[in-house]
Structure 1
Amino acid sequence: MDTTLENILLHVSLSPVLDSGDSQAAELLLLQACLNGLAIARVSLWCFDDKRNLITCEQLLDKDLPLSTEKATFHRRDLPAYFSALDHQRVIRASDACNHPATAEFTESYLIPANIVSMLDVPIRFGGEMIGIICCEQKETIKHWTDDETHFVAALADLYGRALTASQKKQYQQQLEQLNQQLERRVVERTEQLEKHISELQQTQAQLVESEKMASLGTLVAGVAHEVNTPLGIAITANSHCVELTDKLQKLLESNTLSRSKLETTIAALRDSHAVIERTLNRSAELVVNFKKTAVDQSSYDIQTINLADYIHTLVSTLKPYTKAYDVNHIIQCHQPVNITTYPGAIAQVITNLVINACVHAFDQNKNANEVEFLIEQQQQGKVQLTVRDNGKGIAKAEQKRIFEPFYTTKRSNGGSGLGLAIVYNLVASTLGGAISVDSTPGVGTSFRLTLPPICPAAAGTK
């Protein structure tokens, strides 16, 4: 290759403009190098559309004209021979452009108006495909394109691929920065929302989730929504049915087609719907009350010193109207008097929930000899151990791991809400300052073991 052309290529290849990501500046650099190296009048860069049926001028340098932003286009249907030649992705060297078979179609519409005599079109390839051409044009006098000039323009076309790579990289970086900014904004927004929600739910969390065994806050909220929304959804559906029945009744009345049988049928249907609404709303109210119980207000209990065995005996007698239906026999074993200073109200709620839980889940109403045994022991460390044992169905190992989670129940189809043992766990761990564990063998029975301090931490703090 000619030394002058080699120097120009070296200068262009070392220019930081190619790797700047500014595709327009890179195009001008390459076209100016082509204009200077070949000593021609015009040079332009053209790009195909996706289907290669249209080619558009992206940049044009003309010594006789100022830099223009106007983009000329040519379509395959108007220049079939020219596009066919480009399809072969080879260089078009037309010294006499008006008579060359590939460029003669330009004569009337392009060559003569622009006074162009010779054309050299070199393909631009990027990513393994031909994406456009660099078009070199000479005015007034015929120019015979040499091999060195063709190789020079081809080298510039290859450098344009490098510029496109840098431009794409810059675009990707900008897109990545925008995505990062959007992500940061979203993180900030979500963080603010979460902080707000956490602030609103901190009190509920502190009341209902006291240890790692409890379900996560998200599970708790989901359980509340499911338990309350289900009966409310039924009530809403029943109410909509009432509205529909009322509308039909109104239309029959207005059209004087209301018969006694239709009136009686509609009234009966309305009564059924109202009964459904009443049952489901009562169920929702019950769920809300039970939910409130899980957030135990410690100030509602008075601290007292009680004989634990005597207190349980008194409490069990108040439960007999309920346990009578299950034929439950209560056994209290305490080998020596055990006094503790605690919240009797919390003890009462724990025992009540454990007994009711045994009746609902462990015992069969048709079975005799159902037993709930209370074993009270004073440990050497001074702590009191209360074991509540039943001889019921027992609990499977997999269920034992989740038994204290809020809203976990195996009796949901029978109206269970899954709050009974969650209330027990919260009362023992939070209010009474103790611990509770479960041990069960399917078919044999279940034991709940409560370990309580002799003096409730809250009571000790008041002294």
Structure 2
Amino acid sequence: ERERIISIYRKAGAVHGEIAQVRLADQRLGEVSIWSSTLNLSGEAAVVWAFLDLTEELNAKRELGELNASLEARVQQRSAALEQANRDLSDALDTLKRTKNELISAEKMASLGSLVAGIAHELNTPIGNSLLAASSLADHVKEFDAVVAGGAMKRSDFNRFLVDIAMASNLVVGSLHKAASLIASFKQVAVDQTSDQRRRFDLEHVLRDTLATYAPRLRRANCRIELGVTGTIELDSYPGSLGQVINNLINNALFHAFDGHAAAAITIAAHKGEDGMVTLDFADNGAGMSQDVLKRVFDPFFTTKMGQGGTGLGMSIVYNIVTGMLGGKIDVTSEPGQGTVVHLNIPPVAPRRDVAAIKGDTDPKIAA
């Protein structure tokens, strides 16, 4: 180092802030900044050398640089870990959305299964009556043929035959008319529930058609249901979506509310307010809910009967349909042992919306 500094001095005539390693007074290696200046003292040239100890300052700078490098490496590691965590979270979210959509489809198929079961059960009576009447009619025709063939036909026999034929025919016609009416209503419900068609409809008619599909299940559950619609309420909306809301509310009540309940009852009441909004209250006299459960009633995948067939999506789907497709509001009031009331408030004219966006990629609402 001495030779390097002297070489610099000889070439430049001075040294200005050169850094060099030196042995300090305590025998440690240190670093100093060296400066030189030439003075004229009493006619003689003299060189003044100055040494500034930079050991601690340079050591601190090196330590700071090493610390910065270490921090930068740690930040890069953390950033990489965070990016991986974000990718994992995004993948998990995509999986959750796919699972949610699959479960929603499964619930719609289960609803259609209930619809088919309801159709079969409700059609059994009129078709059975028609079959019985047709069989009776065939027997009467055979008897009449026998009487005619025997040549002992009386006016009284003929008149009795006409009466029997008329009764059987009326029974067949009446039963088949009832079957046709049931099929028409079931067909409309099926079309509505499997499509997102918007149309004008009478609220009471749609509600009654929807409830008709649940009649067998309600009877098996010993559950009485009452429908009350004040006045004529016409909507320009999505009857299938509204029917799905009612389906989910009935399923939810039958699944959760009436365990061990001897006199189960559901009441659906609707009226149009002065502001033009349609209020629909769905009430049951079941077990009710605690406040902890009530706070999470719209949470996706939340169920009090996990492992017993509940998906925890029913009320979440209801919330999304009411607030999205139907453009309304929904809230729930309930207390343990006091039943539950679901309040719907929907406009008579639903908003024009992208059906696919509402039903396909809308995240379920989490209850506040």
TM score, norm. by length of structure 1: 0.44
1:434 aligned residue? 328
In structure 2, runs of 5+ residues without a counterpart are 1-15, 31-50, 111-191, 354-368
Alignment of 1:456 onto 2:273 = no
Alignment of 1:373 onto 2:267 = yes
Supply the distance in 2 between the matched residues of 1:328 and 1:291 (Cα, whole angstroms).
23
Supply the distance in 2 between the matched residues of 1:455 and 1:421 (Cα, whole angstroms).
23
Alignment of 1:319 onto 2:311 = no
Supply the distance in 2 between the matched residues of 1:401 and 1:385 (Cα, whole angstroms).
22
2:21 aligned residue? 29
Alignment of 1:355 onto 2:250 = yes
**Preserved contact between residue 291 and residue 419 of structure 1 (Cα < 8 Å):** no
SS at match of 2:276: coil
Q: Residue by residue, what CA displacement relative to the aligned partner does 1:315-356 show, whole Å, maximum 9, x if unpaired?
A: 212102222232111111223121112111111111011011
In the TM superposition, 1:161-200 aligns within 5 A as 163-181=58-76, 193=87
**Preserved contact between residue 283 and residue 340 of structure 2 (Cα < 8 Å):** yes
In the TM superposition, 1:62-101 aligns within 5 A as none
Match of 1:289 among 106, 111, 123: 106
Going from structure 1 to structure 2, the CA distance change for 1:456 and 1:288 (only over 3 Å counts) comes to closer
In structure 1, runs of 5+ residues without a counterpart are 1-13, 18-27, 35-121, 125-132, 135-154, 202-216, 229-284
**Preserved contact between residue 298 and residue 431 of structure 1 (Cα < 8 Å):** no
**Preserved contact between residue 193 and residue 240 of structure 2 (Cα < 8 Å):** no
Letter in 1 for 2:339: G
Letter in 2 for 1:360: F
In the TM superposition, 1:325-404 aligns within 5 A as 325-364=220-259, 366-404=260-298
Supply the distance in 2 between the matched residues of 1:353 and 1:452 (Cα, whole angstroms).
17
Letter in 1 for 2:267: E
Supply the RMSD in Å over aligned alpha carbons: 4.0
Going from structure 1 to structure 2, the CA distance change for 1:222 and 1:346 (only over 3 Å counts) comes to closer
Alignment of 1:300 onto 2:292 = no
Supply the distance in 2 between the matched residues of 1:408 and 1:367 (Cα, whole angstroms).
23
Going from structure 1 to structure 2, the CA distance change for 1:369 and 1:383 (only over 3 Å counts) comes to same
Match of 1:423 among 302, 312, 317: 317
Supply the distance in 2 between the matched residues of 1:391 and 1:184 (Cα, whole angstroms).
55
Aligned length: 238
Going from structure 1 to structure 2, the CA distance change for 1:291 and 1:344 (only over 3 Å counts) comes to closer
**Preserved contact between residue 434 and residue 452 of structure 1 (Cα < 8 Å):** yes
Going from structure 1 to structure 2, the CA distance change for 1:305 and 1:183 (only over 3 Å counts) comes to same
Deviation at 1:370, TM superposition (A): 0.8
Going from structure 1 to structure 2, the CA distance change for 1:317 and 1:299 (only over 3 Å counts) comes to closer
Supply the distance in 2 between the matched residues of 1:359 and 1:298 (Cα, whole angstroms).
20
**Preserved contact between residue 357 and residue 420 of structure 1 (Cα < 8 Å):** yes
Letter in 2 for 1:369: A
Q: Residue by residue, what CA displacement relative to the aligned partner does 1:52-109 show, whole Å, maximum 9, x if unpaired?
A: xxxxxxxxxxxxxxxxxxxxxxxxxxxxxxxxxxxxxxxxxxxxxxxxxxxxxxxxxx
Supply the distance in 1 between the matched residues of 2:299 and 2:352 (Cα, whole angstroms).
25
Going from structure 1 to structure 2, the CA distance change for 1:299 and 1:345 (only over 3 Å counts) comes to closer
Q: Residue by residue, what CA displacement relative to the aligned partner does 1:118-138 show, whole Å, maximum 9, x if unpaired?
A: xxxx465xxxxxxxx89xxxx
